[in-house]
Chain A
């Protein structure tokens, strides 16, 4: 292993050693503040290392990893998201009775898994990354043991995720059986020599799509999403919606481009059907929800659909649109869940629509930034979500996938309704019986308040001046 190899996989090393360090420091003394400090410091140090240390444009660590601009961009994005989630978690877990230190180990390990996914170019690293991510998530979802719904969410996720892993593995085995290689690039080389896919290969890709579909929560593999989102603690819910899905999206993009998925009509057709179904089902189910967590769960299904529109459009513009939309979606989702965290109290999460009644009159600032998040999810101009959607439409138009673009626009209109409904509820005047409800927020929420404020500013900044982010993405993706 050369020095450059070692330098390239250093970000993963830092995360691993941070997890071990926390393990040791817990065994010496349990102190929430210290553990929190180590977590923040290591994630920040990792990000700084990634952005400061000069590495070649593209470096391959044979046979498992590839470090190119796309991988590095997503790595940095995932690390920053994990950082903001850790900051939001502090106040949330500080209030809970249970042992809270181990949560940070799981958070770091899950981030490690997602980071491994973004840079993998081989089935083995794909599998390892996915499993590090999933196994950490099982315990994170069921972390608050005293809550009735958390165990249920945990076991549901465990059974579904293990089943989808089995599908994924079987698909990989079939592809390996035909091609004799587990590397994405050599599979692509094998496929480009063929005009028609052999039947075992089609079966293999089918199994692979089922497995990936479960992890991404796209229709028709979305059944688990709402229940798991509802059962999990709020920071974990936002982790599920952002880091875990972002890692899998990055992996999917890399796999798809390396095996030249565009050339095979059966694969493109399957994805088109799945994407359209995700957008419609996600939005229509979100319309009927009374619980904000479940509403955001269904809206995340449709957002995954939007991202995959750009992914199917493909090409350089499609890749840029995926990266940009991921950034916009991460900022918005972490922010929205962050505000729910901010409003939660000791016993339960602020998740019912009733909790938001008259929020504008009680806490104007929180309500304003929550509205900004919701408008960005809906894709209203001057927010990051709008620019992201615009980018996706541009990518779709340039590759003339008209059907998908039309569906995306129709769905944005449907989505607008339920986001605006929450804002309308926040504007309603409070009735007397609602006022007797206990005020939800104690004062240790300073860090959460700070991170929510930063996220809101970032959201508006990206929405009003998107040029800098676009320039950054372009310079990372086409060096």
Chain B
């Protein structure tokens, strides 16, 4: 059985990361922006697992567990904020919700 080279995994992770970044930049709905950030975080997690597998160390997977936990905490705060924003402004469009111009 042939093993898959580690570079392939890294390329996959980079593609996933770029997809997340592009979608974060072009999406205007706050929920979708949150999803894009999650994709980026998971891409980073995948890169850690690939790197851990390359050195055959458990550290990469440990890091992935931390990333997963942190992403969950982040989403819970994010969704609460989104609910609040929808409650106040009746919109989820980030351009309409943005009152401060910086």
Q: Closest chain A residue to B34 by CB distance?
A: A159
- Contact partner, A162, options B37, B52, B66, Cβ 8 Å: B37
Q: Which residues of B contact A154 (CB under 8 A)?
A: 81
B44 near A173: Cβ-Cβ < 8 Å: yes
Q: Which residues of B contact A223 (CB under 8 A)?
A: 102
B40 near A163: Cβ-Cβ < 8 Å: yes
CA distance A170 to B77 in the complex (A): 23
Q: Mark A124-146, 1 if CB is under 8 A from B, else 0.
A: 10011001000100110010010
Query: Does B70 lie at the interface of the complex (its beta carbon under 8 Å from any beta carbon of A)?
Result: yes
CA distance A153 to B84 in the complex (A): 12
Q: Which residues of A contact B82 (CB under 8 A)?
A: 155
A177 near B50: Cβ-Cβ < 8 Å: yes
B54 near A162: Cβ-Cβ < 8 Å: no
Q: Which residues of A contact B45 (CB under 8 A)?
A: 169
A173 near B47: Cβ-Cβ < 8 Å: yes
Query: Does B73 lie at the interface of the complex (its beta carbon under 8 Å from any beta carbon of A)?
Result: yes
B85 near A155: Cβ-Cβ < 8 Å: yes
- Contact partner, A173, options B33, B48, B84, Cβ 8 Å: B48
- Contact partner, B37, options A135, A145, A148, A163, Cβ 8 Å: A163
The count of chain A contact residues (Cβ–Cβ below 8 Å) is 43
Q: Which residues of A contact B62 (CB under 8 A)?
A: 124
A173 near B85: Cβ-Cβ < 8 Å: no
Query: Which chain A residues in 161-219 approach chain B with CB under 8 Å?
Result: 162-163, 165-167, 169-170, 172-174, 176-177, 180, 182, 200
Query: Does A227 lie at the interface of the complex (its beta carbon under 8 Å from any beta carbon of B)?
Result: yes
Q: Which residues of A contact B33 (CB under 8 A)?
A: 159
Query: Known contacts A131-B70, A135-B73, A227-B102: does B10 contact A169 (CB below 8 Å)?
Result: no
Q: Which residues of A contact B20 (CB under 8 A)?
A: 166
B47 near A174: Cβ-Cβ < 8 Å: yes
Least distance between B45 CB and chain A CB atoms (Å): 7
Known contacts A142-B81, A163-B24, A170-B47; 6 further A-B pairs (Cβ under 8 A) = A124-B62, A152-B99, A155-B82, A173-B50, A177-B50, A224-B102
Task: List, sorted by A's number, 9 A–B pairs whose CB atoms are closer than 8 Å.
Answer: A135-B73, A138-B77, A155-B78, A155-B81, A169-B45, A170-B43, A173-B13, A173-B44, A177-B50
Q: Which 10 A-B pairs have the closest CB atoms?
A: A173-B47, A169-B44, A166-B40, A177-B51, A226-B102, A227-B102, A170-B44, A180-B55, A162-B37, A227-B100
User: Which residues on A are within 8 Å of B, measured CB to CB?
Assistant: 123-124, 127-128, 131, 135, 138-139, 142, 145, 148-149, 151-156, 158-159, 162-163, 165-167, 169-170, 172-174, 176-177, 180, 182, 200, 223-227, 230-231, 294
